[in-house]
């Protein structure tokens, strides 16, 4: 149940922040949080990460439905001791559903977290994207830790 609560929290935070940006800011408008590092910039994306596959909604719908079903099945079968993995799956589930809601209702994804890493202008993203990336990173971390433990015991 905890992992579904994590997913719900991600979805709620994602949708609330997107609603604020979509209703209070004009597209392209930017608010400086940390100069030359972090901005809130109202942006829309009709594709996937970095704007690839623009307008391919049915592809996104199909992939997201398959991913969500897979995540739910995996969460249901997850042993209790696999908490880090469960948190990762909950984050990924919330992120996938958060962006799915945008594509379904708005026909575009609201992005607004705008960062610069040195001189690199990182593509604008949102809470759902962050949850997905953190979830994937945690899966890699868990897999690495399990591999190291097996090697140690091997």
Asked, for residue 116, whether it belongs to a domain, the answer is yes
Of 31, 9, 10, 21, the closest CA to residue 99 belongs to 10
Asked, for residue 87, whether it belongs to a domain, the answer is yes
Q: How far apart are CA 4 and CA 94, in angstroms?
A: 8
Burial class (CB in 10 A: 0-12, 13-18, 19+), 56: middle
Looking at 7, 11, 100, 111, which residue is catalytic?
Answer: 111
> Predicted confidence band at 86 (pLDDT cuts at 50, 70, 90)?
very high
What is the number of structural domains in the chain? 1
Q: Is 56 helix (H, G, I), strand (E, B) or coil?
A: coil
Asked, for residue 23, whether it belongs to a domain, the answer is yes
Asked, for residue 37, whether it belongs to a domain, the answer is yes
Q: Which domain holds residue 49?
A: 1-145
Rounded to an integer, the average pLDDT of 61-89 is: 94
Looking at 7, 124, 129, 132, which residue is catalytic?
Answer: 129
Of 8, 153, 3, 154, the closest CA to residue 78 belongs to 3
Asked, for residue 151, whether it belongs to a domain, the answer is no
Tokens (6 digits) for 68: 């969500």
Asked, for residue 22, whether it belongs to a domain, the answer is yes
Asked, for residue 152, whether it belongs to a domain, the answer is no
Whether residue 14 lies in the annotated active site? no
Angle at CA of residue 17, ends 54 and 57, nearest 5°: 20
Asked, for residue 153, whether it belongs to a domain, the answer is no
Q: How far apart are CA 132 and CA 139, in angstroms?
A: 11
Torsion of CA 68, 73, 79, 85, to 10 degrees: -20
Q: How far apart are CA 26 and CA 9, in angstroms?
A: 26
* Share above pLDDT 90 across residues of the chain, in percent, rounded to a whole number: 75
Q: What is the DSSP letter of 19?
A: H
Chain segment 95-139, per-residue pLDDT in tens: 999 999 999 999 999 999 999 999 999 999 999 999 999 999 999
């Amino acid at each position: 149940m905890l992992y579904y609560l994590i997913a719900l929290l991600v979805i709620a935070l994602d949708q609330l922040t997107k609603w604020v940006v979509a209703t209070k800011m004009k597209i392209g408008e930017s608010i400086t949080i940390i100069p030359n590092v972090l901005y809130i910039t109202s942006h829309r994306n009709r594709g996937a990460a970095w704007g690839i596959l623009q307008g391919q909604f049915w592809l996104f719908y199909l992939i997201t439905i398959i991913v969500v079903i897979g995540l739910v099945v995996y969460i249901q079968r997850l042993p209790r001791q696999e908490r880090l993995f469960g948190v990762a799956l909950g984050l990924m589930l919330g992120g996938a559903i958060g962006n799915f809601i945008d594509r379904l209702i708005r026909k575009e994804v609201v992005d607004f977290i705008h960062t610069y890493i040195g001189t690199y202008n990182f593509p604008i993203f949102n809470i759902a994207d962050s949850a997905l990336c953190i979830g994937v990173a945690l899966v890699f971390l868990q897999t690495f830790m399990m591999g190291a433990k097996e090697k140690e015991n091997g």
